[in-house]
Structure 1
């Protein structure tokens, strides 16, 4: 009940803040590029305000993470991934005789986009920049989580089982830490508890680990949710969905004029006459940017997942994230169907979906470990590889383009797109409509102008 009250207060404040500012522009025509979790939540808030919303996405948006990522709403992963030492990852790739936990493809050093991204990345690795990134991530994550329960209730008409939405506790388990690293993790947990009450240290002996803590978790089937919302937004909000791949963008010095796209029949068509264009396209945002002369500082960190259906009695005792393996075991179907998702890794392998060969075997090994060798049935399993679009400073790009006055970004959330989706969409709606920014957030933290896009 407490969490519901916290949400209702936050939601009411957000709505009243809007009412105190200027009247929203009704019937504004908005085109959203991307129909993953960020595109869907953006369409929800914009259409609810009265905008005429069209959403376009590829016929099979497989490169995104919505369909097959961890499907969890939680404060993890935190802190900023800019604390990751890319130099060390490259060294490990060169020297490991066994399979590295984070693979780096050395030929990327010849790739112009990677070199552009990594220069921005290292520029944002100083202690002050990382501190600012962490604060921005913490604010957006906390704000979004506070909205999530009511958002799901509104979307499902108080029937969250439709999308397998449920609550539990995530067990974060670390192995192989030094005493210094254990102390650093203790300080991290203490800091996280300021934003997510219920984060607490637990005895690592239970897991035969170096360090462990628990944190509240919301888990749901985001693939099912997105497909459900396409129908609901179309029927209830008048949102128009198109399947197609953007091929070209026509623009003036300050305005996006039109888009050309190839539909499912490979016919070229034109979209024009929109007041606002919103890019929620994940790693595809890089290509959209190129079409209008903008270098978008996103790099796809390649992740993998495996879904397997098991008998209820074989579902793991709890959802968990395991380090240093960077593996998340999610009990997605705990209430409704027995589906377990094992997902992980963060390979720097280019903005493609070519699998690193040994990753599938590693996930199968992990899945068997947690559901049992006998319970695992490959015929009931499905495999996926996709890209988490990581911004160079690990803070998402949310807001108006610094070059085009009718272009907006809502992308670059890396591994946190699901968790941060609701808060990001509400911030985006406030920026597009000219309403007051939610008081929990600082809009400048996410402004795309920091990268001149």
Structure 2
């Protein structure tokens, strides 16, 4: 089949790669000049199955109320005259019940575990290098209340096969000596040894290069303006190229993987995607004092920040780099992408408080991107109600974690094959599958 993938971020490129492996002729269309130039550009760097507790959980409503009006709040609803924002907020509140939280954790862990395995296999097969570290992810807590509330989600994750262990403050410092500076404030931690980190942009561009080598076509600097329907299915996609010329492209199937912009293209087709842009921030700075900088990827659950160390070894192409990437927070403010200096400086301040002198703050680079957030944090992957249109979007803060598993699963769905993971795919009957290599233990329901 001829398949057009709309979007050249993590989700679009992984989908394109696995579609090509299934034997399809693939074309990727994106408005940017290069892959991973927007939301995948400078994210937190974590492949974190352990980050499965959604923003919408029983403790969230009170926190959101407490944070209202605070420019440095981890989750900031900047209320607007925007019906989509208000509807999304109401759906978010409905997802905050204990039952919905448990259900959503289950979906997120299943997809995350499968995706991490898929990434590891792909890395081994292709020899990809993207500043990866396989030292696990450590969630640390400086609030006893927050630490205590983490135990139940961690227990559920362990039941689902994600070994997120609850550990003491002393063990946390043993695993990551850079935490010694705040040892008196540490209430405890959790540690997931199987989780990883790495540069999502570098990975995406490396994989895009492999896609080109395999025959995938790229139409970059082409802005997608509309999907046109005829007879209950997509007939063609309309774009404008870098010179402003109008063009149409036809295919046998279309994949919508345009992140926060997916709902805008889907709405004229009568598809209401529960996705709203959640603006996230990141800071990247060179390592200044290696003895103070962390080696293990870290998560500060209280302030919703993640810390990764991205080290590129010296090579024939350059001397190498060693840098810190700190990312997080979410601001619901429509499609605004202006950098809020207060929020940027809050991230730097927290980093300095935790790891004084570790990074060169004078050379800090700030970035913001629009995460495509669903109220549940569960992405939308599968068939749409419009013929020949498939969806791979709504991954929120876990696009890097879920990218490879989502891309491979959607490629199988487009090819008429069953996904290998038990997940609530859109437009498919619910099904139960055994772990990879096992027998099917359930049937469609």
Give the TM-score of the pair, scaled to structure 2.
0.84
- In the alignment, the residues of structure 1 paired with residue 3 and residue 253 of structure 2 have an alpha-carbon distance, to the nearest angstrom, of 5
SS of residue in 2 equivalent to 1:31 = strand
Give aligned pairs, total: 408
| Runs of 5+ unmatched residues, structure 2 | 174-182, 314-319, 430-445
Partner residue of 1:287?
264
Query: Once the 2 structures are TM-superposed, how far is the Cα of residue 215 of structure 1 from its aligned partner?
Result: 1.3
Alignment pair present for 1:390 and 2:390: no
Question: 1:278, 1:409 within 8 Å by CA — same for their partners in 2?
Answer: yes
Select which of 138, 152, 169 maps to 1:204.
169
- In the alignment, the residues of structure 1 paired with residue 8 and residue 301 of structure 2 have an alpha-carbon distance, to the nearest angstrom, of 31
- In the alignment, the residues of structure 2 paired with residue 326 and residue 376 of structure 1 have an alpha-carbon distance, to the nearest angstrom, of 22
SS of residue in 2 equivalent to 1:332 = strand
- In the alignment, the residues of structure 1 paired with residue 103 and residue 64 of structure 2 have an alpha-carbon distance, to the nearest angstrom, of 26
Partner residue of 2:155?
190
Higher mean displacement: 370-379 or 407-416: 370-379
Question: 1:63, 1:385 within 8 Å by CA — same for their partners in 2?
Answer: no
- In the alignment, the residues of structure 1 paired with residue 97 and residue 165 of structure 2 have an alpha-carbon distance, to the nearest angstrom, of 29
Query: In the TM superposition, what whole-angstrom CA distance separates every residue of 1:311-356 from its partner, at most 9, and x where no partner exists?
Result: 5725324321113111111012276621210111122222321233
- In the alignment, the residues of structure 2 paired with residue 374 and residue 345 of structure 1 have an alpha-carbon distance, to the nearest angstrom, of 21
Partner residue of 2:432?
none
SS of residue in 2 equivalent to 1:58 = coil
User: Larger helix proportion, structure 1 or 2?
Assistant: 1
- Structural mapping, 1:43-442, within 5 Å: 43-59=16-32, 64-83=38-57, 87-94=61-68, 99-106=72-79, 108=80, 110-154=81-125, 157-158=126-127, 160=128, 162-178=129-145, 181-196=146-161, 198-204=163-169, 206=173, 207=183, 208-216=185-193, 217-272=195-250, 274-311=251-288, 313=290, 315-333=293-311, 337-369=321-353, 372-373=356-357, 375-379=359-363, 381-402=364-385, 404-438=386-420, 440-442=421-423
Partner residue of 1:24?
none
- In the alignment, the residues of structure 2 paired with residue 371 and residue 150 of structure 1 have an alpha-carbon distance, to the nearest angstrom, of 34
- In the alignment, the residues of structure 2 paired with residue 366 and residue 47 of structure 1 have an alpha-carbon distance, to the nearest angstrom, of 43
Query: Once the 2 structures are TM-superposed, how far is the Cα of residue 239 of structure 1 from its aligned partner?
Result: 3.4
Query: Once the 2 structures are TM-superposed, how far is the Cα of residue 203 of structure 1 from its aligned partner?
Result: 1.5
Query: Once the 2 structures are TM-superposed, how far is the Cα of residue 236 of structure 1 from its aligned partner?
Result: 2.4
- In the alignment, the residues of structure 2 paired with residue 201 and residue 354 of structure 1 have an alpha-carbon distance, to the nearest angstrom, of 38
- In the alignment, the residues of structure 1 paired with residue 151 and residue 253 of structure 2 have an alpha-carbon distance, to the nearest angstrom, of 45
Change (3 A) 1:319 1:363: same
- In the alignment, the residues of structure 1 paired with residue 389 and residue 346 of structure 2 have an alpha-carbon distance, to the nearest angstrom, of 41
- In the alignment, the residues of structure 2 paired with residue 240 and residue 100 of structure 1 have an alpha-carbon distance, to the nearest angstrom, of 39
SS of residue in 1 equivalent to 2:56 = helix
Question: 2:106, 2:160 within 8 Å by CA — same for their partners in 1?
Answer: no
Over the aligned positions, Cα root-mean-square deviation in angstroms equals 2.6
SS of residue in 1 equivalent to 2:377 = coil
Query: Once the 2 structures are TM-superposed, how far is the Cα of residue 261 of structure 1 from its aligned partner?
Result: 1.3
Higher mean displacement: 37-46 or 67-76: 67-76
Give the TM-score of the pair, scaled to structure 1.
0.83
Query: Once the 2 structures are TM-superposed, how far is the Cα of residue 85 of structure 1 from its aligned partner?
Result: 5.6
- In the alignment, the residues of structure 1 paired with residue 94 and residue 162 of structure 2 have an alpha-carbon distance, to the nearest angstrom, of 33
